[in-house]
Amino acid sequence: MDAIRSKFIENTLRDEGNRFIRNQGIAIKNALKSRTGNLIRNRKATVTGTGSNAQLHIEVPAYTRFLDIRNKFKRSRRGQSKRSSGRGLQIYNRFVMGHYYGLAERLQFGYTQETIDMIRSKWEGGFNG
């Protein structure tokens, strides 16, 4: 039973990592029309460890977080600052927190008897077939 549970955890983490990279990539392409492509290319999701010790690591360029921050002040030509109502690009925090809660829900409620049977049938099909 522990092998099935660890396979479920690893698969869930891998799926959520790929989903995060895909959804964030779509938002980046919409927010930044054409740039160097560094922000899209240098992102990856990896799962390390096994079983209940598995961890999902998502690597993004460090400046991604700064693009998400709203500019509170804008400088005018005369050097005076004005309050700005501009918004950040919403390409980091929105995805991190959204996927964090989705991942927690899938790990908490997704391990059902149907999931156990599906993983078991894939294993049996792999060994017999």
pTM of the model: 0.75
Residue appearing with tokens 């400046």: 63
What are the percentages of helix, strand and coil residues in the chain, rounded to 5?
Answer: 60, 10, 30
- Tell me the per-residue pLDDT of 117-127, one tens digit each, with 9 for 90 and over: 888 888 787 65
Secondary structure element (H or E) that encloses residue 95, with its range: helix 93-109
Instruction: Give yes or no for a contact between 14 and 47, defined as CB atoms under 8 angstroms apart.
Output: yes
- Tell me the per-residue pLDDT of 36-62, one tens digit each, with 9 for 90 and over: 788 888 999 999 998 878 999 999 988
At 47 the three-state DSSP class reads strand
Burial grade of 91 (CB within 10 A; 0-12, 13-18, 19 or more)? buried
CB atoms within 10 A of CB 52: 9
Percentage of the chain with pLDDT > 70? Answer: 80
